[in-house]
Structure 1
């Protein structure tokens, strides 16, 4: 029996999973979802990987929200009401929602169940897979001392650039320990440019407010329920109805940015503080957003763009230079903080592939088109249909 466990708290997850879960419980409590593991990097998994992963999932089923963790959420996230926190207090992972098989070095996996339950699996599952992979393949990282030194160099660079930085690195971290080491550096250094971490558990440990927006699956589900053309718009309106003046960053690339901008009207562009960029050319995207705001007579200097697409110091330098005195950039650094240890990081994702909205009896395939082909996911026929409906060449 493997004694190794990578996730030791129910809150060791990205913040946006909890905010989406709360919204799902309020608006779509009976909706169901299916997720699928996608091995983008064609990685080979070591012998017995699936069984050891299953052991870890069984251990995760014993996790519960502690009273101290609940108090932390009440204090730092007042928009998560007591009804939701009561739900979370009773919540436990159910490994029966996950189907895993291994054929040689290839791994297959999908998740199925109520959307309000299964939404929490993706991030800790990926973090577990990543850490197990390095442990079981015996791949040795650089020393903690070198990781410390490398991170300090990056922070020195970000300080010189005078940019705002958040930490978004849970799902593809090398290990929990490396993640904690990096975050400890960020917080102990008292860097004024550090906005916080998307990891709720580590935010709790270091007494910082967690940060986050919402994920593509929020909009993908709305497409299944309401149609591709208005999915972005209704998803944003529903988000505002739940969170009001909180968490007002819109996700811009589920069905490509041009389609998003058609839905991002004067009212929504005014109410949302800004947008998140997660695919495609960041400079082109910035130009598109500035032009969009100006067309609506909104001053872009009062708006934010959160960049979160595979960032490193070089990219941050280039983007921040372009944004200067035009719009406010914030940078969500992920893998480059938590898995820059001298080894290739895993190129894996877990994405929603089907949804069963309430009052429908048939599963509907969902897709993400993104601004780049490599990040698009979903059934090929449905991708073709979505592009046809949205007039995407």
Structure 2
């Protein structure tokens, strides 16, 4: 059964054929406003292959201009990426094939006089589908979109164009790209923002997302990310700022909420991949802890993301155990695991958090810290856990593991002793 937003969308969309181009543009902006209010299920049910094929047919019959189709499609892709909507219908559509043909023609100089159209086509393509036809095409995307993203003008229209270009780039995930094609430009974009605050919050997160996606294939990026661009410091500040804009009572969804969730995805990659350390890490852990304490009683999804990030941090060779202690991670995970309403996934992450810490503090753990330092840190951990009644909590909780979801229990060590920190 259609709800109000769905009915309104199809009503407005059916009226597009009878509009002149400028009137059609106004109506599409109205439609985009309707799309903003859709939930994920409704969004996916509307934007099917058939719907994109209808747009293609309207373009072919001169009932919709390409510019107006792009106006709607860019907004669809923007929301798809912002709200983590998996929607692969576009890439199977006739409209997608038409875009690919136009992009190929553009690369062959057919559209060199219309750079704006080409940039819009590239953004639509990257935002609405994940695969790219060739490395040559991808390299063209990256160079041109980085050029747009490097615009430092403060006008609102320019800031929006920069945001869209960086959001599109952040969707380039699984491709190995030569550093010479992007590192200097993306570093300059990030550093300029650190001095002048010229980017939107989404644009800044997207710039880091694009760079972190490259980290998976390029370990040498570590020094630039950690020490030159100061990822830990910047991520900590962004988490703090964005959490102020989240409606923790869940009256409505906010843009800050989705950007915050995007930061946690980037954090997970960072902790998984980074092998370097600097003194800013404890501050980042502290910010994650603050968000977790704010979210845990009212917003489960962000709470789960925090617990997972702390688990990743505990397993990271780039994060010191002292950072976890100083940042408050040990205390907050102890609090979390004692919650009577803890869910299976969070329980799994909390148990692994302590398992990783315990294993790393053993003499053969991969921290390889000096013996005197290791003993001091181990004593601090032991006292913290003893103070919070950790062993009793784990012992009682561990007895209930067989009632947890099997897919998590099967991945946990079976000996209870591995979760304990002995003095």
- TM over 0.5, shorter chain: no
Structure holding more strand per residue: 1
TM-score with structure 1 length normalisation?
Answer: 0.29
Structure holding more helix per residue: 2
TM-score with structure 2 length normalisation?
Answer: 0.28
